[in-house]
Amino acid sequence: MVVYSKKLTVNTKERIDFLRITDEVKKAVKESGVQDGIVLVNPMHITASIFINDNEKGLIEDFKIWFEKLAPKNFNSNHHKPGEDKGYSHLWRTILGREVVVSVQNFELELGPWEEIFYGEFDGKRNKKILIKVLGE
């Protein structure tokens, strides 16, 4: 059994941003030498998310609009009471989820035809880590 870990560092230009990281995950799978297994991708931060969806700019913009309706950035969050200003970011992360696990077969990610892996950042403009862990044979 092979266990391979890699950490990526990202620093978004915007406080709220979405990065397509499919290629970085594919590269980690190749580096691992795992032919058959799984890969876990985890943002390691409570104001970020890893998710799978279509790589379509309009969809990414729709996420921003939809999140703003569900949990507006200026909403009077209980999290703001101790002086924080990012209560919305924790809620947005909860909506999209924490991490993804993808099957690996023949050294490749088993993604559907339009599926891409994304990092969603909701409190950026500083260094953040993404964990990629590949397990298999």
User: What CATH number is given to the structural domain containing 90?
Assistant: 2.60.120.460
Nearest to 121 by CA among 112, 129, 113, 132: 129
| Domains identified in the chain, total number | 1
**Looking only at Cα atoms, what is the longest distance across the chain?**
51
- The phi and psi torsions of 43 (rounded to 5 degrees) equal -75, -15
Range of the domain at 128: 2-75+83-136
pLDDT tens string for the chain (137 positions)?
999 999 999 999 999 999 999 999 999 999 999 999 999 999 999 999 999 999 999 999 999 999 999 988 887 666 655 666 778 888 899 999 999 999 999 999 999 999 999 999 999 999 999 999 999 99
